[in-house]
Chain A
Amino acid sequence: MLEKGKISPRQSGELLFITVFATSILIVPAVTTSIAAQDAWLAILLSTLPGFFLLGVLSWLGGKHPGQTLFQYAETILGKWPGKLFGLLYVWIMLQTAATTTRQFSDYLSTAFMPLTPLSVFTLSLIFLSVVAVISGLEVIARMNEFIILLVVAFLMLVMVLALPNWEPANLLPVLAHGLVPVLRASATPAVFMGEVLVAAVLLPYTTRPQRTFAAGAAALLSAAFLLAAGVVAAIAIFGPALVSVFRFPLHMFVRTINIGDILTRFEVIVMVTWVAGVFIKLSVFLYCASLGLAQVLGLRQYRPVVFPLGILVAVFCFLFFENIVEITEGIKSVAPKVYAIYYLVLPLLLVIITVVREKIFGHKFQAKRQ
């Protein structure tokens, strides 16, 4: 057993929430608003559907193979070598997601707060922290997250309440002026983030009551989507859809508008600080899943030796994949949804189909044995 720790369903739900929420709040508002204008919030709510689908598929597969992660039951279903290849694909996408996350957030920090500090300072320190956390184990990440989730949610709520005086609800109208098509198109980008519930496939076997993980994950997904939609609604209500789609980080601008009695002002730095914590957890979760997955694919007895090298790889990918911030935003609009659709929808569905085919047509029984 690679991981001896166990987390509670609540903790796994909280991890899923932070994973989905942490960076989507930075990127999604501008992208969705640029396509769907004031209906962006609808696009975000719609985008949870693929997330729910993935969560359902993973719960079903996890229920068939109790005590096994995605990487282990892929081998059971597909056979040894195809299964390992399949696992490596997922390790790759997790590393890529971790790199994208790090790059997005570092770019945000460097453009918005410390333009003189080199980008690598942020990426390297974030990755180093995550490596330390991952080496400390899943339980530690989950416990920290119970702290950090409070901070992140509390500050976001506070910011929204404080910004209420600046709202102009008229900005949100009319609803569905251009029909459903732009909304559907706009929901592709948030769906990339909602699909990050993929990590549930790794967390599931280490949860104390795996059968409740679907409920916890669904709650996490819904609350993340609602908070995200609320953020977008607030941003649009303040700036109007045209401005929001031009801003690079609408939430950041939105926090800057807050001014209460000339004293409570300019506290976007504090909000940034809480987001660092959230992004750190997200990064740790992905790095953890990638490390554990790689260790399981390679059949190692512990996953700790691969954490540091994978951390270095993530750092390399950060600079390799993207040349500048515009490329990230463009990528997330056009390429990313297609790439992630393969990983989040097609491949899991493939597993399900092969399982069903092997069970129904060839009469193979997947025994529910615990490893």
Chain B
Amino acid sequence: MIILLALLLAALFLIAIVETAPLVRQKHWPELAAFLFLWGLSSFLAVAQFVGVNLPNSMRFFEKILP
């Protein structure tokens, strides 16, 4: 479990490094900001999902509002 979590985190940070390096070099700051925001969001969700936090399910939402 711990090992898998470590692997997940390692993969996420590897992705971050691989993706940000060219953006910093090209000085594409808006893209970098978008990436970091999305990456932070998705990483948070991924880790939360992994450790078993109950996240809200959007499908339930649809089920509620639709007749």
Cβ contacts under 8 Å, B58 to chain A: 96, 321
Chain A nearest CB: distance from B44 CB in Å? 9
Work out how many contacts link A and B, with CB atoms closer than 8 A.
Answer: 69
Query: Counting CB contacts under 8 A, is A335 at the interface?
Result: yes
Cβ A313 vs Cβ B35 within 8 A: no
Within 8 A of A (CB), among B10-67: 12, 15, 19, 23, 28, 30-32, 34-35, 38-39, 41-43, 45-46, 49, 55, 57-59, 62-63, 66-67
Evaluate contact between B41 and A309: CB separation under 8 angstroms: yes
B32→A331 contact, CB < 8 A: no
- A154 close to B (CB within 8 Å): no
Which of A313, A322, A335 is B63 in contact with, Cβ under 8 Å? A335
**Which of B43, B59, B63 has the most C-beta atoms of chain A within 10 angstroms of its own C-beta?**
B59
Give the shortest distance, in Å, between A81 (CB) and chain B (any CB).
18
A346: B residues at CB distance < 8 A: none
A265 contacts partner chain B, Cβ-Cβ < 8 Å: no
Distance (Å) between the CB of B67 and the closest chain A CB?
A: 8
Query: Are B46 and A308 touching (Cβ within 8 A)?
Result: no
Q: CB within 8 A of A309: which of B23, B38, B49, B63?
A: B38
The reply to whether B35 and A309 form a contact with Cβ atoms under 8 Å apart is yes
Query: Nearest CB to that of A128 among chain B residues?
Result: B11
Q: Give A291 Cβ to nearest chain B Cβ, in Å.
A: 10
Query: Once the chains bind, are A309 and B55 in contact (CB under 8 Å)?
Result: no
Q: Is the beta-carbon distance between B46 and A305 smaller than 8 angstroms?
A: no
Contact of A335 among B28, B49, B62 (CB under 8 A): B62
Report the count of interface residues on B (CB-CB < 8 A). Answer: 26
A298 within 8 A of B: yes
Q: Does A316 contact B (CB under 8 A)?
A: yes
A313 CB contact (under 8 Å) in B31, B42, B59, B67: B42
| Residue in A295, A310, A339 whose CB lies within 8 Å of B42 | A310
Q: A305 near B19 (CB under 8 angstroms)?
A: yes
Known: A309-B39, A335-B63, A339-B66. A316 touches B45 (CB 8 A): yes
A246 beta carbon closer than 8 Å to chain B: no
List chain A residues, Cβ under 8 A from B41: 309, 313
A82 at the interface (CB under 8 A from B): no
Closest Cβ–Cβ distance, residue A50 to chain B (whole Å) = 17
Let me know if B34 and A312 touch, CB within 8 A: no
The answer to whether B42 and A309 touch across the interface, beta carbons within 8 angstroms, is yes
A306 touches B35 (CB 8 A): yes
B32 touches A339 (CB 8 A): no
A302 contacts B by Cβ under 8 Å: yes
Q: Taking A312-B12, A312-B42, A312-B46 as contacts, is the C-beta distance between A305 and B34 under 8 angstroms? A: yes
B43 touching A319, Cβ below 8 Å: no
Please tell me if the beta carbons of B59 and A321 are within 8 angstroms of each other in the complex: yes
- The minimal Cβ–Cβ distance linking A252 to chain B, given in whole angstroms, is 25
A306 partner residues in chain B, CB cutoff 8 A: 34-35, 38
Interface residues of B (CB under 8 A from A): 12, 15, 19, 23, 28, 30-32, 34-35, 38-39, 41-43, 45-46, 49, 55, 57-59, 62-63, 66-67
- Complex A-B, nearest 5 residue pairs according to Cβ-Cβ distance, in ascending order: A309-B38, A312-B42, A305-B35, A316-B45, A313-B42
28 residue pairs of the A-B complex, CB under 8 angstroms, read: A298-B30, A298-B34, A300-B34, A301-B28, A301-B31, A302-B31, A305-B31, A306-B38, A308-B15, A309-B39, A309-B41, A310-B42, A312-B12, A312-B15, A312-B39, A312-B42, A312-B45, A313-B38, A315-B46, A316-B45, A319-B49, A320-B57, A321-B59, A331-B59, A338-B62, A338-B66, A338-B67, A339-B66
